[in-house]
Homo-oligomer: A and B are copies of this chain.
Amino acid sequence: MSERSSIGPAGLAALVATGAIGGLIGDMGHVQSGTTVYLEDPLPYIWESQLWFPLMVGGGTAALGWIAVELGASAAEAERSEPLREAAAAIASVLGLYALTAIVRGEPAAVGIVLCYSVAALICARFARDRVDWLCALLAALFGVGSEVLLSAAGVFEYAGDVEQILGVAAWLPALYLAYGVVASRLGVLVALSRGPR
Contact = CB atoms under 8 A, between A and B. Distances in A.
A171 interface: no
Interface string A82-107: 00010011001101101110111001
A111 B102 contact: yes
Interface string A32-55: 110000000000000000000000
Q: Is the interface of A mostly helix, strand, loop or mixed?
A: helix
A93 B126 CA distance: 12
Given A99-B118, A104-B103, A33 B111 contact: yes
A175 B101 CA distance: 20
Interface in A15-32: 25-26, 28-29, 32
A125 B32 contact: no
Q: List 8 tightest A-B contacts by C-beta distance, closest first.
A: A96-B118, A92-B121, A32-B108, A99-B115, A89-B125, A29-B111, A99-B114, A92-B118
Interface of A: 25-26, 28-29, 32-33, 85, 88-89, 92-93, 95-96, 98-100, 102-104, 107-112, 114-115, 117-119, 121-122, 125-126
